[in-house]
Amino acid sequence: MRLSFHGAARSVTGSCHLLEVAGRRILVDCGMIQGSRDLDEENAAEFGFDPHAIDFVVLTHAHLDHCGRLPLLVKRGFRGEIVATAATRNLARLVLLDAAHVQEEDSRRRQRRVWRRGGKGDEEPLYTLLDVFDTLDRFGRKLEYRSPLVLAPGVRVTAFDAGHILGSASVLIEAEAAGAAYQVLFSGDIGNSGRPLLASPSVPEAADIVVMESTYGDRRHRPFAATVEEFYEAITDTFARGGNVIIPTFALERAQELLFVLRQGIEQSRLPPSMMVFLDSPMAIAATEIFRRHPDCYGPSVGELFAKGRDPFGFPGLRFTRETGQSMAINRISGGAIIMAGSGMCTGGRVCHHLRHNLWREEASVIFVGFAASGTLARRIIDGASEVDLFGEPVSVRSRIHTINGFSAHADQQELVDWRGRVGVAGATFLVHGEESAMTALAAKLADSRIEMPRLHEAFPF
Ligand SMILES: [Zn+2]
């Protein structure tokens, strides 16, 4: 058996791990490398293995940093089977189609720049929509939680609910080869316990080797109840001042969790029953439709709502705005509305228009509920810029800025330690998907067994 690491090695994006066992090559995730700067070259680099030789891809969840290089893998010769849960498959379809669109737009922009400078040569996108369609054709059997699937003779995979986003899984790969038996557990991304929307992360009883994420290996989160309280207060304060609330929103999971929390706020009379809420993001709207199609994937309280025929993501004042014209009409509203729009880090998208119309208003608020990388507009506003550039014009920042961090979809340090503790004795633990500082802090807490922090393309024979 051999384990090698081709992404998210001492960094948080580009997850891609290769397990070679019983004569098969199984890739776990094939994600995009992401960050504030242009990472086209890194994403276009060699994988570190031959895509033709891969037999299976097991996809843990649909975030771009876990599935985003799948079309490139197919473009470069992968002809095997991709297995994932049904919800992951549906969400990955949405995420990959959007990614191809972005890649094609980016390459056209680069091409125009080349031509303007009198240059020649073609600026190729990383992959196109056609590559995504070829990728979708490679999705084969579906994973169901706690139900083993035989990948090949002597190799089986079992998914456990990771509680991170809809359909997310930790995957246990069990194999028999040359008289030896192996159990390798890949955590995927691990969610928080006790969140309203999803079930808490679950784990198998035992594994020999664990490959686990360490994003927040050095941090503790604020309790969820306190986070929701802070969120409600920011909204009611803004409404009392007569302004709008702008929430730069990530389309997957965060948007749906916020809808659920807003709905709950109305139900508990913490928020006005008739308040206007706009989900102004075609991608988030499409994701919400997928969330509604998987009532089996939730924690008990949401499952109960579905069972009663109620919509956990709906309430009377909620409007989905798909068309550009509908989105522009929102700009005429000067107060009393919540506007959720992408992108989450304000690097583009409809949220920039809403910021132009609200950022200068003292009575308005902007609530940041997710990670903001350095160099992004979100980061500049959070760091206290008094003026920002929007569409080539300066806009002064007079609205109230809130940063609410407790909505994270990732386990914090204690939850990661608990998660590993719940898996039976592991021969070795490989830390991935984290910055070095986070990994080192987590390693110190897990000091009871062999800990490895692999480097990019590093391989470990067993
Ligand atoms: Zn994720």
* Secondary structure, 3-state, 248-291: ECCCCCHHHHHHHHHHHHHHCCCCCCCCEEEECCHHHHHHHHHH
**In a 3-state reduction of DSSP, which class is residue 210?**
strand
Spatial distance between the Cα atoms of 54 and 6, rounded to a whole number of angstroms: 13
pLDDT in tens, 416-426: 999 999 997 77
Q: Are 61 and 28 within 8 A, CB to CB?
A: no
Mean pLDDT of 277-292: 95
Relative orientation angle of helices 86-116 and 129-137, to the nearest 10 degrees: 160
Q: What is the pLDDT of residue 170?
A: 98
Distance (Å) from CA 14 to ligand 1 centroid: 11
More confident residue, 89 or 13: 89
Nearest to 75 by CA among 39, 29, 28, 129: 129
Distance (Å) from CA 244 to ligand 1 centroid: 30
Distance (Å) from CA 65 to ligand 1 centroid: 7
Distance (Å) from CA 310 to ligand 1 centroid: 28
Of the candidate ranges 13-17, 125-129, 273-277, 402-406, the one whose mean pLDDT is the lowest: 402-406
Distance (Å) from CA 241 to ligand 1 centroid: 36
Q: What percent of the chain has pLDDT over 90?
A: 80
User: Residue 348 — pLDDT band, cuts 50, 70, 90?
Assistant: confident
The residue count of the chain comes to: 462
Ramachandran region, residue 433 (left: φ > 0; alpha: ψ -120 to 50; beta: rest): left
Mean pLDDT of 285-294: 94
Distance (Å) from CA 312 to ligand 1 centroid: 22
State the Cα angle at 241 between 236 and 247, rounded to 5°.
Answer: 55
Token code pair at residue 171: 């995957």
pLDDT in tens, 310-329: 999 999 999 999 999 999 99
Distance (Å) from CA 404 to ligand 1 centroid: 19
Mean pLDDT of 89-118: 92
Q: What is the mean pLDDT of the chain?
A: 94
Residue 298: strand pairing partners = 198
Measured between alpha carbons, how far apart are the two ends of the chain, in Å?
5
Q: What is the pLDDT of residue 37?
A: 66
- Tell me, what amino acid is at 223? P
Q: What is the pLDDT of residue 373?
A: 78
pLDDT in tens, 434-459: 999 999 999 999 977 799 999 999 99
Sign of CA dihedral 402, 406, 410, 411: positive
Mean pLDDT of 172-182: 92
pLDDT in tens, 254-277: 999 999 999 999 999 999 999 999
User: Residue 36 — pLDDT band, cuts 50, 70, 90?
Assistant: low
**In a 3-state reduction of DSSP, which class is residue 149?**
strand
Largest CA distance in the chain: 71
Spatial distance between the Cα atoms of 192 and 201, rounded to a whole number of angstroms: 7
What is the strand order of the sheet 180-186 is part of? 149-152, 155-161, 169-177, 180-186, 209-213, 428-432, 450-452
Distance (Å) from CA 67 to ligand 1 centroid: 10
Distance (Å) from CA 335 to ligand 1 centroid: 34
Q: What is the pLDDT of residue 419?
A: 95
Distance (Å) from CA 26 to ligand 1 centroid: 20
Element (H, E) at 26: strand 24-28
Q: 459-461 and 2-5 as β-strands: parallel, antiparallel, unpaired? A: antiparallel
222 DSSP 8-state letter: P
Spatial distance between the Cα atoms of 356 and 388, rounded to a whole number of angstroms: 10
Please state, as a whole number, how many other Cβ atoms lie within 10 Å of the Cβ of residue 311: 13
Residue 150: strand pairing partners = 156
Give the pTM.
0.93
pLDDT in tens, 119-148: 888 888 999 999 999 999 999 999 999 999
